[in-house]
């Protein structure tokens, strides 16, 4: 479990508590929408017969869904793993041969497919060039007159690689077949083909195919004057004239491909600086750590300070393993991962990986006599002290995961400006009150510092997403407010005097011209609620979110065994491929 599990949603959560749709960047009052007011007017509101009947139907519906989940768990068996190099699976009623790879990712499948396609075209004497198409992506471009030769070249490798081909039409891929069974007549009028070597995990829980890992083979038309016309829109232009076709080599993740000189130059919208990831993590089940925590927890006061020391904050459901898998799958551009812990290391973690480092609290604390601490605010106040940390880094909690391919420009502009994600949840005006929760206490303390530094105040919280940070800004804040950071670093548990360094960092950067608010598809799921299983099923089926948070509830009535079972079922299905950081 992460040591920083608070979020913008820690306040009042409207019913239903789970909203997987992107939330508009506006401040709205709960229950103030036209639909809500209309439904209350039609049904008569609470106490009316129609309203109460609909609520009863809703409760019965949840009961049947829970019963279906329970029965499904009894009769459904997990598929047995296979040791075969390939496996025949059925997709949309059609048989497809896929390679079995325990540690595949969309980027690795794309790279393998690109290499096979390039080798096949080269061996067949079909000329092509590579067109950059985002981070780690390229399009393979051939002249339309060579389409049949290109298809024959792809078909020639099917015996060794299960290459599949489909026609790209309006963002859809149609007529997917093995390259040796793809009908030539489908080439008529086709602008591009999508090619992939499908990959599945040993348990066949997830297929990486056309949408996630496909490579486009574009068919460029030859126009008058030997001008090549692009079949689809791209970032470079609608055509290539002879003067622009100066031969060069494009390197894509170590794979060298023929291209043209201007296509190998860094584009203005590319992020070229290194980006790291920083995690804070604690294993609350570790007896040694728990003994330290129990000894220091004795005598902790009441209110939100005592709540911050509750067991729910430190329960580990193995989310870190899957959060790392999400980075390996959907953010291969990350340079290095730093895992900050209280001298703990997950048993499954490969500490010998050159791009992962476990950092002890002792390595980043200026005064180690203040340790141990069990306060995420204190730990966050010292993250910029990590030796070797990049200037640009992203702070992750382990209950935050990437849901699909994401670009570094979702976190930083090409010039290094931070992108951050304000929530519609508000802090509230005035000084901290006894009834305020820990996030509100810290946010109000942040507001006082922000006002002192910039003569402005913040009133919103932040989404519980990965937070982009800059090391120089963190250092600047420590130098500007040394007393506030030192006091927070000394707080073993949450304290009403704490600041929240991460939100302060982002609001300060925003006010000083180094950050801008942005939007991404985000979902926040509270575990253990009745609607949780439905939300997880929908997320697994549609995979429609860039980022989602699986946050634990402090409700004592929640069954941890049920939460763990639901979470394992979902995460094993969503992220079945091992990351390079797992043993």
pLDDT single digits (tens) 169-180: 887 898 899 999
- DSSP 3-state assignment of 420? strand
Instruction: Specify the pairing of strand 192-196 against strand 164-169.
Output: antiparallel
Could you give the CA distance from residue 356 to residue 310 in angstroms, rounded to a whole number? 30
Q: Which two tokens stand for residue 192?
A: 């591009």
Listed by start position, the domains of the chain span: 32-68, 86-264, 275-415+462-496+519-574
What is the model's pLDDT at position 330? 96
Strand pairing report for 164-169 and 138-143 = unpaired
Q: Is 322 helix (H, G, I), strand (E, B) or coil?
A: helix
Picking from 342, 340, 282, the residue whose alpha carbon sits closest to that of residue 312 is: 282
H-only helix segments in 455-514: 471-480, 482-489, 501-511
Question: Highest mean pLDDT: which of 22-26, 300-304, 402-406?
Answer: 402-406
- When pLDDT is averaged across residues 437-464 and rounded to a whole number, the result is 91
Q: Which helix (H) or strand (E) holds 313?
A: none
Q: Specify the pLDDT at position 551.
A: 87
Count Cα neighbours of 510 within 13 Å in the Cβ-side half-sphere: 19
Tokens at 346, concatenated: 């997950």
Sequential DSSP letters for 117-151: HHHHHHHHT---EEEE-STT-EEEEEEGGGHHHHH
Q: Which of 16-20, 176-180, 409-413, 441-445 has the lowest mean pLDDT?
A: 16-20
Is the model's pLDDT at 14 over the cut of 70?
no
Single out the residue of 27, 31, 58, 28 nearest to residue 45, CA to CA.
Answer: 31
Location of structure tokens 């801008």: 516
What's the pLDDT band for 19 if we cut at 50, 70, 90? very low
Predicted local confidence at residue 433, as pLDDT: 76
Give the per-residue pLDDT at 9.
44
Q: What rounded mean pLDDT belongs to the chain?
A: 86
Residue 450 has pLDDT above 70, yes or no: yes
Can you tell me the distance from the alpha carbon of 183 to that of 176, in angstroms, rounded to the nearest whole number?
A: 10
In degrees and rounded to multiples of 5, residue 54 shows phi and psi of -65, -35
Predicted pLDDT at 4: 44
The pLDDT assigned to 441 comes to 86
In this prediction, residues 227-235 reach a mean pLDDT of: 95
Predicted confidence band of residue 21 (pLDDT cuts 50, 70, 90): very low
Q: Which run of H or of E encompasses 551?
A: strand 547-551
> Shortest CA distance to 553 belongs to which of 572, 531, 534, 537?
531
Residue 35 has pLDDT above 90, yes or no: no
The token pair at 24 is: 């508009």
Work out the end-to-end distance of the chain between its first and last CA atoms, rounded to an integer number of angstroms. 20
Is residue 22 scored above 60 in pLDDT? no
Using 50, 70 and 90 to split pLDDT, how confident is the model at 162? very high
CA distance 366 to 184: 69
Q: How far apart are CA 48 and CA 137, in angstroms?
A: 57
The Cα-based distances of 572 to 90, 115, 410, 466 in angstroms read 20, 29, 26, 22
* Mean predicted confidence (pLDDT) in 455-483: 96
What percent of the chain is predicted at pLDDT more than 70?
83
Average pLDDT for 411-424: 96
Which residues are CB-neighbours of 293 under 8 A, at least 6 positions away? 284, 309, 314, 372, 374
How large is the average pLDDT for residues 133-157? 94
- pLDDT, tens digit, 9 for 90 and up, residues 492-513: 998 888 999 999 999 999 999 9
Predicted local distance difference test score (pLDDT) of residue 28:
30
Which pLDDT band holds residue 300 (cuts at 50, 70, 90)? low
Distance, C-alpha 476 to centroid of its chain: 28
In this prediction, residue 299 carries a pLDDT of: 62
Average pLDDT in the 138-153 region? 96
Higher model confidence: residue 390 or residue 432? 390
Sheet of strand 199-200: strand arrangement: 86-91, 94-100, 199-200, 207-208
pLDDT exceeds 60 at position 354 = yes
Read off the pLDDT of residues 357-376 as tens digits, 9 standing for 90 and up: 999 999 999 999 999 999 99
By the 8 A CB rule, do 275 and 412 touch?
A: yes
Cα–Cα distance for residue pair 320/218, rounded to 1 Å:
39
Question: Is the pLDDT score of 311 beyond 60?
Answer: no
Task: Work out the average pLDDT over 263-277.
Answer: 95
Please tell me the pTM assigned to this model.
0.85
pLDDT given at position 83:
64
| Helical axes 106-124 vs 147-155, angle rounded to 10° | 110
| Residue 194 exposure: Cα atoms within 13 Å on the Cβ side | 21
% pLDDT > 90, the chain? 64
Given a cut of 70, is residue 79 above it in pLDDT? no
Cis peptide before 401 (omega within 30 of 0): no
d(CA 266, CA 480): 37
Q: Mean pLDDT check: name the lowest of 8-22, 219-233, 266-280.
A: 8-22
Is 164 within 8 Å of 196 (Cβ atoms)?
yes
Cβ-in-10-Å burial (0-12, 13-18, 19+) of 256 comes to exposed
- Quickly state the pLDDT bin for 82 (edges 50, 70, 90): low
363 or 77: which leads in pLDDT: 363
Tokens of 51: 């309203």
> CA torsion sign, 107 to 110 to 116 to 117?
negative
- Residues 90-105: tens digit of each pLDDT: 887 788 899 999 999 9
Which of 57-71, 276-290, 474-488 has maximum average pLDDT? 474-488
Q: What is the mean pLDDT of residues 337-355?
A: 95
Q: Please, are residues 401 and 547 in contact by the beta-carbon 8 Å criterion? A: yes
Interacting residues of 549 by C-beta distance below 8 A, sequence separation 6+:
7, 397, 399, 400, 401, 464, 465, 522, 523, 524, 525
pLDDT of residue 25: 32
pLDDT tens figures, 513-552:
999 999 999 999 988 887 888 899 999 989 999 999 998 7
DSSP secondary structure of 15-83: SSS-B-SPPPSS---TT-SHHHHHHHHHH-STTSHHHHHHHHHHHHHHHHHHHHHHHHHHH--PPPP--
Residue 398 has pLDDT above 80, yes or no: yes
The answer to whether 382 touches 413, Cβ cutoff 8 Å, is no
Around Cβ 288, how many Cβ atoms within 10 Å? 11
Task: Give the confidence band of 8 by pLDDT, cuts at 50, 70, 90.
Answer: very low
Q: Is 151 helix (H, G, I), strand (E, B) or coil?
A: helix
Cα separations in angstroms, 122 against 112, 129, 142, 581: 15, 11, 12, 35
């Amino acid at each position: 479990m992460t040591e920083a599990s608070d979020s913008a949603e820690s306040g009042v959560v409207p019913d239903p508590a789970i909203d997987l749709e992107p939330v508009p960047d506006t401040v709205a009052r709960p229950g103030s929408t036209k639909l809500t007011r209309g439904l209350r007017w039609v049904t008569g509101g609470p106490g009316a017969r129609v309203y109460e009947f609909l609520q009863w139907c809703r409760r019965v519906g949840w009961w049947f869904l829970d019963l279906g989940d329970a029965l499904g768990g009894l009769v459904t068996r997990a598929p047995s793993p296979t040791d075969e190099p390939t496996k025949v699976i059925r997709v949309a009623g059609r048989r497809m041969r896929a390679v079995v790879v325990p540690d595949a990712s969309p980027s690795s499948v794309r790279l393998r497919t690109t290499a096979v396609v390039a080798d096949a075209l080269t061996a067949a004497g079909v000329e092509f060039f590579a067109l950059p198409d985002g981070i780690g992506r390229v399009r393979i471009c051939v002249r339309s007159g060579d389409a049949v030769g290109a298809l024959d070249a792809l078909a020639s490798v099917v015996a060794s690689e299960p290459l599949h081909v489909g026609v790209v039409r309006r963002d859809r891929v149609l007529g997917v077949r093995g390259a040796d069974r793809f009908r030539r007549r489908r080439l008529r009028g086709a602008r591009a083909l999508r090619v992939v070597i499908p990959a599945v995990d040993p348990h066949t829980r997830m297929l990486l195919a056309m949408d996630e890992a496909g490579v486009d083979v574009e068919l460029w038309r030859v126009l008058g004057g030997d001008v090549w016309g692009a079949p689809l829109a791209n970032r470079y232009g609608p055509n290539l004239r002879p003067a622009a076709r100066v031969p060069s080599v494009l390197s894509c993740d170590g794979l060298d491909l023929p291209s043209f000189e201007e296509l190998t130059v860094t584009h203005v919208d590319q992020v070229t600086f290194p980006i790291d990831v920083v995690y804070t993590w604690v294993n609350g089940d570790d007896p040694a750590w728990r003994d330290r925590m129990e000894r220091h927890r004795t005598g902790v006061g009441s209110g939100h300070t005592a709540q911050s020391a509750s067991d729910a904050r430190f329960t580990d459901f193995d989310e870190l393993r899957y959060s790392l898998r999400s980075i390996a799958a959907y953010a291969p551009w990350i340079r290095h991962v730093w895992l900050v812990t209280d001298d703990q290391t997950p048993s499954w973690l490969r500490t010998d990986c050159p791009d992962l480092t476990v950092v002890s609290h002792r390595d980043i604390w200026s005064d180690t006599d203040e340790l141990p601490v069990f306060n995420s605010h204190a730990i966050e106040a010292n993250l910029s002290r990590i030796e070797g940390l990049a200037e640009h880094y992203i702070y992750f909690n382990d209950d935050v995961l990437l849901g699909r391919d994401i670009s570094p420009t979702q976190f930083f502009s090409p010039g290094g400006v931070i992108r951050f994600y304000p929530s519609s949840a508000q802090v509230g005006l005035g000084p901290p009150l006894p009834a305020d929760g820990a996030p509100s206490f810290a946010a109000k303390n942040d507001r006082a510092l922000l006002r002192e530094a910039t003569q402005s105040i913040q009133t919103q919280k932040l989404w519980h997403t990965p937070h982009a940070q800059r090391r120089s800004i963190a250092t600047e804040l420590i130098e500007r407010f040394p007393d506030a950071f030192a006091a927070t670093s000394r707080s073993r548990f949450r304290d009403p005097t704490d600041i929240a360094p991460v939100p302060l960092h982002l609001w300060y950067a925003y006010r000083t011209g180094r950050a801008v608010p942005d939007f991404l598809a985000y979902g926040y799921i509270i575990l253990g609620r009745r609607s949780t299983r439905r939300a997880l099923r929908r997320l697994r089926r549609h995979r429609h979110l860039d980022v989602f948070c699986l946050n634990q509830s402090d409700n004592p009535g929640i069954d941890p065994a049920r939460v763990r079972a639901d979470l394992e079922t979902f995460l094993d299905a969503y992220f079945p491929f091992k990351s390079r950081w797992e043993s």
